[in-house]
Structure 1
């Protein structure tokens, strides 16, 4: 799901680290002093993940749910999946060479569900998510736009019920005009994108479902054949947020998935109009704050906060659609054994085809 892709740039290991502007923007080096994602497994259903030199130590044996691969998810003739995996968990090379992921000690569970043209089937994505649930992944990073078929909806909801953090791309215009599925599913962390200045990326789809945003323009990562790629899109932002979730889950291993998501949204840097809005959601993720802030736990009893009446006009209300989304998310999280997010820390700083697109 990239608006601009160069899957085989000539940048070698000595240069690519400096090209990864999002690392300094998100204060990744400071975050790594607190957590590097150790002990966390992130499933990446995509075009497969090649064992790139900057990534191979963190690559598990996965699965092919479509033909044409090596049987373990570790082949990729497109570069999309390898790029997303690198953004999450590339370990780089000695002397600060090579690409670095947000969570360089996390493990990647690669799943091949999309052919080289980047257009897959929703039920193949569903099969990927089912596999990730069966393998007890901690996080599922879905950099794809799809149709909500019954099987796919059931798979996503099962993942949420299984205490797995599901992170998904909001989508890119003009291909998508509304927040895509599964990002639009209550309980899923829906991710939009910002540019180098922290402003809304013009291709990033807006909507009441957007939860957080992350860098999405000129993002450098691993590619096929030991090379590197540069791309722009909410796919990249999604992988970055999945890496952020891995850092949190590693540092706080007993936190339920809904609380991990809560830390991401509660500590995000507010952008746009004060409070939640349809372009930025709750804001740009802040890795250090998400790992260190004193965020009260979820649950009305534990926070002592009374749930507002549904008709109350909250300061961060985004319109009727946002209210409906919030109520639906409340129901989903309660069903998953959690509760709705009741605390936020604010800081300023055409019908789709029945396929998935990447």
Structure 2
């Protein structure tokens, strides 16, 4: 498959309430062929934990946001409160269902459920210990995917929490980090068993906001991403946080279609079917490439350790793209920084992959 671009619509800026134009502004939907994706899977039956600034009720998320928790010391409530908008945006990218007649925002997995965990105050500056508690809460609640759009630190508490999620067969997705604030892939994206997500622009090229490094696994749209905001409105954000939420939604779609597939194999599907960019094989800007959700849901992907030597060449079908580049970088941080980045972790009691070298060959798949 090759990447293609298209001309943005004339309605590049949302109206004051945005609901009638937001769908056209969500260029990443066409880029990722989401209409085709939703004919295959919509994420039904999958719980996605979103540790963030909370999730405010929004018409486009009605019924998809379950009661969660407020982890912040002294905080009260069930996670369905947000005064920053970052968490509401991430939840919308993952699970917004919009309204009739193409009105409202649409998420990657609109029939999935969101578990909101408020562990970051409205200033966007949280603590790694609270993020660790959030991950542990998600494990207890049976989340199938955890979407982490922050840069934190590799504290003992955080490492223990991520290890518990991996042991519980949860797909953990994390943001790589935003430049220039970060200069290398941040934690927990740098964790061995976590899917580290970088970003591309509407042309499928590396987004300058996305950090690079040997830990990058896949990339997804990260520039001018329109999503749900506060007071029933919408916001535009750029950063690896947004790309992470997209990959978390993709993981939910895979888990819904293949409910018995281990988390490690979910991650393997995403890397094995990614559209190669940059130098052949894995590289530090694109990882294994731009996610191809249609292929991840439909390709014949040999299990880890059992890849066939016969490989069908990638399809030449195009992925559409279409919105202007640029825009403000998504909110401040939690742990250390909210990034609009997502991490997906492998499952079971083993590490699903070693860190890839730049000279690794592409994963083998058949279509």
TM-score by length of 1: 0.83
Aligned pairs (5 A) from 1:54-73: 54-67=60-73, 70-73=76-79
> Do structure 1's residue 90 and structure 2's residue 96 form an aligned pair?
yes
Q: CA deviation at 1:10?
A: 2.4
Higher helix fraction (1 or 2): 1
Gaps of 5+ in 2: 1-13, 310-345
- In structure 2, the partner of 1:314 is none
TM-score by length of 2: 0.81
- In structure 2, the partner of 1:40 is 46
Q: CA deviation at 1:217?
A: 0.3
- In structure 1, the partner of 2:313 is none
The CA deviation string for residues 157-179 of structure 1, in whole angstroms up to 9 with x for no partner, is 11011100000000001110010
Contact 1:275 1:346 in 2 (8 A): no
Contact 1:214 1:240 in 2 (8 A): yes
Contact 2:307 2:364 in 1 (8 A): no
Q: CA deviation at 1:94?
A: 1.0
- In structure 1, the partner of 2:256 is 250
> Do structure 1's residue 211 and structure 2's residue 217 form an aligned pair?
yes
> Do structure 1's residue 186 and structure 2's residue 184 form an aligned pair?
no
Gaps of 5+ in 1: 1-7, 306-331, 348-358
> Do structure 1's residue 177 and structure 2's residue 191 form an aligned pair?
no
The CA deviation string for residues 164-204 of structure 1, in whole angstroms up to 9 with x for no partner, is 00000000011100100000001100000000100000110
Please, which of 262, 266, 272 is the counterpart of residue 272 of structure 2? 266
The CA deviation string for residues 50-108 of structure 1, in whole angstroms up to 9 with x for no partner, is 11000021010001101575510000000000000000000101111100000000000
Distance 1:346 1:257 in 2: 18
Moved segments of 4+, more than 6 Å: 339-343
- In structure 1, the partner of 2:150 is 144
SS at match of 1:259: helix
Please, which of 128, 131, 135 is the counterpart of residue 125 of structure 1? 131
Contact 1:208 1:278 in 2 (8 A): yes
Higher relative contact order, chain-length normalized (CA < 8 Å, sep 6+): 2
Distance 2:90 2:154 in 1: 22
Contact 1:296 1:303 in 2 (8 A): yes
Contact 2:176 2:211 in 1 (8 A): yes
Alpha-carbon distance change, 212 to 204 in structure 1, aligned in 2, over 3 angstroms: same
RMSD of aligned residue pairs (Cα, Å): 2.1
Distance 1:10 1:119 in 2: 29
Aligned pairs (5 A) from 1:261-300: 261-298=267-304, 300=305
Please, which of 350, 354, 367 is the counterpart of residue 336 of structure 1? 350
Contact 1:83 1:222 in 2 (8 A): yes
